[in-house]
Structure 1
Amino acid sequence: MKNLSFLAVCAVAMVAAAVLLWEAPTAEAVTCSPVQMSSCLTAITNGSPPSSQCCAKLKEQKPCLCGYLKDPNLRQYVNSPNARKVVAKCGVPYPKC
């Protein structure tokens, strides 16, 4: 009887471990805020090289870029030739919306 109880506990532990390992990791939600892209403003407006902070924010805000392109107030910045250079230099593909 002890062996049966031990096996049952082992089986439950293995199932619990399998569930934890197979559960898909949850992605953190991104808060779309164009203000967070302020570190890229100089690179976009002047054509200067983007800073590492700019690239980090650009990568973080990547899911938001289509929304920024659809915003008439932001489109001119996101769609500019310098913005395309910045995303390329940061290794972020230009969005296809």
Structure 2
Amino acid sequence: MFQRLHPDKADWTLTNRLLAMVVNCLRLLLWSKSKDGQKNRKRPSMIGPDMQDKSSERKGSNVKAAPLSQIKASLGRGDESVDKSRKLRNVFGR
């Protein structure tokens, strides 16, 4: 019944799937050491029944950065009226 529903995945046994995963990992490893991999271009295509329907776009690749003022406010590093040298003098007692 599985062969009728998914004929493209029926020939992939557990051994073949595991071998495909090993090959995919080796291809990614070799690619990551190349100049293309360091610049994140020409990523190798994955083989196997589970890899064909995945998109090449990575999750979180189109996230917009938060404004610097918002980051400083959340970290408590906003504009302060007291300068740093006065704070250091108060800490060290000079």
Query: TM-score w.r.t. structure 1 length?
Result: 0.24
Bigger Rg, which one: 2
Query: TM-score w.r.t. structure 2 length?
Result: 0.25
